[in-house]
Amino acid sequence: MASWDPPPRKKALCFALDVAAGRHALSKLIPVVLWLADAVLCGLIIWKVPYTEIDWVAYMEQVAQFVAGERDYTRMEGGTGPLVYPAAHVYVYTGLYHLTDRGKNILLAQQIFAVLYMATLAVVMLCYWQAKVPPYVFPLLILSKRLHSVFLLRCFNDCFAAFFMWLAVYSFQRRQWTMGSIAYSCGLGIKMSLLLSLPAVGIVLFLGRGFAGSLRLAWLMGQVQVVIALPFLAKNWQGYLGRAFELSRQFKFEWTVNWRMMGEELFLSKPFAVVLLVLHVLVLLIFVTSRWLQPADRPLLSLISPMLRGGSALTPAEELEVSSRVTPDYVMTTILSANIIGLLFARSLHYQFYAYLAWATPYLLWRAWPYTPVVYLLWAVQEAAWNTFPSTDLSSTAVVNVLLITVVLVYCGTSKPVRSGERKKAKASKKDR
């Protein structure tokens, strides 16, 4: 009797599903094809869509003062106000200032940001592949209208900060702790938005490198911040710290993307800011104690007490075992969840903050609930909300609710302890690369 041969349509469907789910040899080509398609799309956007001026001129005005010899942060300002970004921002845009004829060659600036976008996308895709995300999630990485706008049509400094954030994640996934720490510190030196993920970065380093190793890396990151800021610290250190890392900045209601539905009076009130801060700290503590410390299999207090006395709560053998559980998916989930928690409770989100969110949401939704319709639906709602300009009560409600749903889903979907990695990799990682 002849064996039953499925009809061609069923064969084609099975083939497509196998490729999309990562079960076929051709699955590895999906990210490459999507990356190339996005490169073409970037070219078309620069060619067809007009550039929109927001902060570029102000960046150039501020940098021009630096080029002229000014080192006092309190005296450096542009058309949109004073300079409020750390020193690495000044150095990056000084380079762009010279490359683009003092900021006049906007087309060249857009092309540079297109290269930056493609480089960041490549790193993001590598992070996804390291975390074993199936190819069917990857199309969401190239479909964001708002993200293309932030990079190609606005030239915000968040684009560079986001690149270094993802480079840090990838380095940590590869257990290249020193490289990741430097990358993270460089991103933080461009914009302090990366402070949102600092608690998770600290925990990843502590679990991956042990107590002593993480202290050395923390010291390294601090040194990077000091070195890049030296010219400004020497001139007016209080002015630099007050401007570059100003935590009490008052944001304008007209630009908010997330809390417009609360009304301007409540949005600007101090009690509202305090409530957000308290909730942020509370949710971070919940994730730290019940999710992020899972590889250690120890309660938070039992780890803190010995550290306060200058020692480690884990023996060298235990540190090695814990380090083996710091897997690529654990690294990515921990850092991105800290970032999205910070965005949820941020006093105000502006459109450029989408650079930190757009590529994080697909992974977190898949990680928490790998059900394709839910992942695509929530991503679509988020994208539509962030593309609404100016924001409305409805769009801001959607922004906050998608963030909230993502945080809840991540918490519920990561209750199982992380699996152990290969012990050989952990041993190799103890050697600081």
What is the rounded distance in angstroms from the CA atom of residue 312 to the CA atom of residue 213?
11
pLDDT computed for residue 430 by the predictor: 42
pLDDT computed for residue 278 by the predictor: 97
What is the rounded distance in angstroms from the CA atom of residue 260 to the CA atom of residue 391?
7
Q: Does the pLDDT at position 52 exceed 50?
A: yes
| Between 315 and 32, the higher pLDDT residue | 32
Looking at this protein, which amino acid is placed at residue 202?
A: G
Q: Does the pLDDT at position 421 exceed 50?
A: no
pLDDT computed for residue 251 by the predictor: 74
Q: Does the pLDDT at position 46 exceed 50?
A: yes
Strand ranges, E, within 279-399: none
User: What mean pLDDT is predicted for residues 127-153?
Assistant: 96
pLDDT computed for residue 3 by the predictor: 60
What is the rounded distance in angstroms from the CA atom of residue 329 to the CA atom of residue 183?
19
Q: Does the pLDDT at position 424 exceed 60?
A: no
pLDDT computed for residue 307 by the predictor: 80
For 155-172, write each residue's pLDDT tens digit: 999 999 999 999 999 999
What is the rounded distance in angstroms from the CA atom of residue 174 to the CA atom of residue 431?
13
Q: Please confirm whether the linkage preceding 316 is cis (ω < 30° from 0).
A: no
Confidence of residue 428 (pLDDT cuts 50, 70, 90): very low
Q: Does the pLDDT at position 20 exceed 70?
A: yes
Q: Which of 124-128, 245-249, 353-357, 422-426 has the lowest mean pLDDT?
A: 422-426
Token match 């600081």: residue? 432
pLDDT computed for residue 427 by the predictor: 41
pLDDT computed for residue 317 by the predictor: 87
What is the rounded distance in angstroms from the CA atom of residue 156 to the CA atom of residue 149?
10
pLDDT computed for residue 4 by the predictor: 62
Transcribe 35-65 into DSSP letters.
Answer: HHHHHHHHHHHHHHSPP--SSHHHHHHHHHH
User: What mean pLDDT is predicted for residues 362-367?
Assistant: 96
What is the rounded distance in angstroms from the CA atom of residue 149 to the CA atom of residue 45?
9
Q: Provide CB contacts within 8 A for 319, sequence distance 6+.
A: 210, 211, 312
Looking at this protein, which amino acid is placed at residue 294?
A: Q
Cα angle: 236, vertex 241, 247; to 5 degrees? 150
Q: Does the pLDDT at position 336 exceed 60?
A: yes
Taking the model in full, what pTM does it have? 0.93
**Portion of the chain with pLDDT greater than 70, in percent:** 94
Q: Provide CB contacts within 8 A for 363, sequence distance 6+.
A: 127, 128, 131, 133, 137, 332, 333, 336
pLDDT computed for residue 432 by the predictor: 46
pLDDT computed for residue 196 by the predictor: 96
Q: Does the pLDDT at position 431 exceed 80?
A: no
| Between 425 and 382, the higher pLDDT residue | 382
pLDDT computed for residue 184 by the predictor: 98
Instruction: Work out the mean pLDDT of the chain and round it to a whole number.
Output: 91
pLDDT computed for residue 288 by the predictor: 95
Sign, CA dihedral 422-427-432-433, equals negative
Transcribe 88-153 into DSSP letters.
Answer: HHHHHHHHHHHHTTTTT-HHHHHHHHHHHHHHHHHHHHHHHHHTT--GGGGGGGT--HHHHIIIII
For 292-316, write each residue's pLDDT tens digit: 999 988 888 888 888 877 777 788 8
User: What mean pLDDT is predicted for residues 78-82?
Assistant: 86
Confidence of residue 91 (pLDDT cuts 50, 70, 90): very high
**Length reported for the chain:** 433
- Output the six-digit token pair for 139: 């199309």
Domain ranges of the chain: 27-415
User: What mean pLDDT is predicted for residues 325-349?
Assistant: 96
Compute the CA torsion angle 110, 113, 115, 118 (nearest 10 deg). Answer: -120
Half-sphere exposure of 183 (CA within 13 A, CB side): 20
User: What mean pLDDT is predicted for residues 250-267?
Assistant: 87
Q: Does the pLDDT at position 244 exceed 60?
A: yes
- Output the six-digit token pair for 302: 């039992």
User: What mean pLDDT is predicted for residues 352-379?
Assistant: 94
pLDDT computed for residue 34 by the predictor: 97
